[in-house]
Homo-oligomer: A and B are copies of this chain.
Amino acid sequence: MTDDTEPIWLRAERAATGRPAERSRAEITAAAIAVADRGGLEAVSMRNVADELGTGAASLYRYVNGRDDLLDLMVDATAAEPRLEPPTGDQVADLTAFAEELRATMVRHPWLPELVLTRPSLGPNAVAALDHVLDVLADHPGDGRAKLEIFALLNAVVATFALNERAAADRPEQAVAYLRHVAATGRRPRITALLEDLAAPDDRHRGDALTAILSGLLR
């Protein structure tokens, strides 16, 4: 019997003896991701995922300790999607390239930013990505703690951008509705000016902010 308090990555997938399992963790993860891609995070219920697989909901508990495990598996599965190019020597450029891969993954899976931000857990694929970032930062002075911090912040910043971008795209008026009301009161001139800037066309290209952040962090 495997310890239930261990992360799922350390629990044995199948038993050597007894009736063989009909499915694998990977299949279940893929089904969960399919459901999420189609209906968002809230659609990822045990019953929905089971339906996607054509099984009963209770069967999932043979592969996973609960819904949380499922979410962890989903996150780590997507962590395999970014292409990890060999370091070029330009640390900031390498990291922004990785960040762009991350962003593309999050566009492909709109439910991902929320999970990444809420659920800090490192699975095998996330460790591979971390290893890649450590590779890029090999020549960088500073201990592992600082580099781990950079990795965490890179993920968080990209996820935050992705989340905000999506919110602005899905409900454009809702996002600024209250700001507009505040501006209308005339009591906060700085907010009013801000709204005028938001109305202007966006000529900045994405990634500027991230480059600035990374430049600061790498000192």
Q: Which residues does A use to contact B, with CB under 8 Å?
A: 5-7, 9-10, 114, 117-118, 120, 122-124, 127, 130-131, 134-135, 138, 143-149, 152-153, 156-157, 160, 163-164, 167, 174-175, 177-179, 181-182, 188, 190-191, 193-198, 200, 202, 204, 209, 212-217, 219
Contact = CB atoms under 8 A, between A and B. Distances in A.
B177 A117 contact: no
Given A131-B190, A190-B134, A181 B10 contact: yes
A145 B197 contact: yes
Contacts of A198: 144-145, 148
A167 B152 CA distance: 13
A174 B157 CA distance: 24
Contacts of A118: 114, 117-118, 163
A179 to B, nearest CB: 6
Contacts of A9: 178, 181
Contacts of A174: 5, 7
Contacts of A145: 197-198, 202, 204
Contacts of A149: 209
Contact of A194 (B134, B160, B219): B134
A10 B183 CA distance: 13
A117 B202 contact: no
B144 A153 contact: no
A110 to B, nearest CB: 13
B144 A196 contact: yes
A146 to B, nearest CB: 7
Contacts of A156: 117, 156-157, 160
A124 B219 CA distance: 36
27 contacts: A6-B177, A7-B177, A7-B178, A114-B118, A117-B117, A120-B163, A120-B164, A127-B188, A130-B194, A135-B190, A138-B190, A144-B193, A144-B195, A144-B197, A144-B198, A145-B197, A145-B204, A146-B204, A148-B198, A149-B209, A153-B160, A153-B213, A156-B160, A212-B216, A213-B216, A216-B216, A216-B217
